[in-house]
Chain A
Amino acid sequence: MYEGPIQDLIDEFGRLPGIGPKSAQRLAFHVLAADATDVKRLALALTRAKEEVRFCTSCFNVAEAELCRICRDPRRRDDALCVVEEPKDVVAIERTGEFRGRYHVLGGAINPLEGIGPDQLKVRELMSRLSSGSINELILATDPNTEGEATATYLALMVKPMGITVTRLASGLPVGGDLEYADEITLGRAFEGRRKL
């Protein structure tokens, strides 16, 4: 245990995801040794991020203004909507350049063990966007794990009666890999989702 401010700083770093007690200590001493201007810049970046970054009122992605960059863009298609769990998933899909529609960020996945249900996610907001009538296809891009799959099934069950096409991202083999290195589950799914050439 250290005294006063340095221990406070270690404790704060230790609360961050992926930072253990040793890393927290290292970061804290790095801050102590750094230039005062560097530290001020870091502190400013932290407070500015918290104060100025907002969530887009339409898709709930991170934004600087009322609407995020994608929702403001008039060139994007209005008829396709892609549902993801987190803002970082938007960035991942944007990197592919494949999708020109708009997004909806749920803020997580349904997870009863952690007390997360539709009310804790942006599901009601999604439904009201879909009921506007301009969306033809809903793409479910939640994570391919137990919770993400359940969320996708839940949304599909809710949306199907509205007459909107619902699609799910395919799961299968990584491109450029060897078949023999794929695990049985991935390979099994790839078999299930095979397509005609």
Chain B
Amino acid sequence: MHVRRLELTDVRSYAHAAIDLEPGASVLIGQNGVGKTNLVEAMGYVATLASHRVSNDAPLVRMNAQTAVIRCAIVHEGRELLVELEIVPGKANRARLGRSPVRRARDVLGALRLVLFAPEDLSLVRGDPEQRRRFLDDLLVARQPRFAGVRADYDRVLKQRNALLRSAYLARKVAGQKRDLSTLEAWDQHLADFGAQLLQARLSLVEQLAPHLEDSYQRVSAGEGKAVMEYKATTTPGTILEVLAQVRDEEIARGTTLAGPHRDDLLLRLGELPVKGYASHGESWSYALAMRLASYTLLRSEGIEPVLVLDDVFAELDTGRRERLAELVRDAAQVLITCAVEADVPESLRGARYLVTPGEVRRD
């Protein structure tokens, strides 16, 4: 799979920009702050319907514009598919697939398979558990778009259940009354139902991903330590209802849901030690990179070659790691690399060159 053309209208710093791309390696070169990352962010948006940098869509739309439009032509097995997204902050996005509108923007998920590594990914290893849950869920959705629905349903039920617990908590604390919790059992059942589907899928994903992670880290770091990932669950898929019953009193006392996939974490270790708090900056960086490369290898092993994007990664790596990374990704169907200094990118990856200047991208 490769992206043949990306066209942006009123996206971030671009009033209008179009870039024609080729299979194989391409390098986007430009100084800091000229908008290189905006380009790959837009591609990431087409793949996941979310930005990897911000959680709300408003910053994606250029100042003083109402909507942003991303057009992305994707070639897969000789066929071209055009995905068009119109981002309207605060409202539902509109989408077209092959020039015909789809009912929901969610329907374009799966059209572009993309693995994006960016500096923000350092938070995968250093940040909150939420970042790691999102990493797993995004990968789930990339492999089986159905999970976008499961995740949305789970979140909705969770929100409702939390609202109910919260009102019980407030009624007790403020008015000293007992609040009617008779509907809690119904919410429990739905939470357990969607939660079990999500949890089961995450568990099997981690099982499949773990060997790829070990391998990728090994190859990037040339044998310095073994990368291990382990899913730390608050329940098992079959015991969500049981665990909820156990923590019920505490849930009412605290006014929130205390067990389920939304409280789980992905433990990352290097040898015996957790990465968070113990690994050096370079090790953490390589670890985060290995997680993305593992996703890439996993997606690839299923027969569809994803597009790989390496946003500003080489500057942070030593020469050895740069060369080994280049070796790893050289045979990718398409790899897009952004950098400020071209010399940071190993020779073997210097394919097509694109110069990025404020508001403009031009093939060199």
Contact = CB atoms under 8 A, between A and B. Distances in A.
B157 interface: yes
A147 B186 CA distance: 10
Contact of A154 (B153, B156, B185): B185
A119 B180 contact: yes
A134 interface: no
Given A112-B167, A183-B107, A184-B149, A146 B157 contact: yes
A149 interface: yes
Contacts of B163: 112-113
Contact of A115 (B104, B145, B167, B186): B167
B182 A184 contact: no
Interface of A: 110-113, 115, 117-119, 146-147, 149-151, 153-154, 157-158, 183-185, 188
Contacts of B104: 183
Contacts of B159: 113
B134 interface: no
B180 A146 contact: no
A149 B190 contact: yes
A149 B182 CA distance: 15
B161 interface: yes
Given A150-B186, A184-B146, A112 B161 contact: yes
A186 to B, nearest CB: 10
Interface string B149-184: 100010011011101100100000000000010110
Listed from nearest, the 4 A-B pairs whose CB atoms lie closest are A154-B186, A112-B163, A112-B164, A153-B186
B145 A150 contact: no
Interface string B215-242: 0000000000000000000000000000
A15 to B, nearest CB: 21
A180 B79 CA distance: 19
Contacts of A157: 185-186
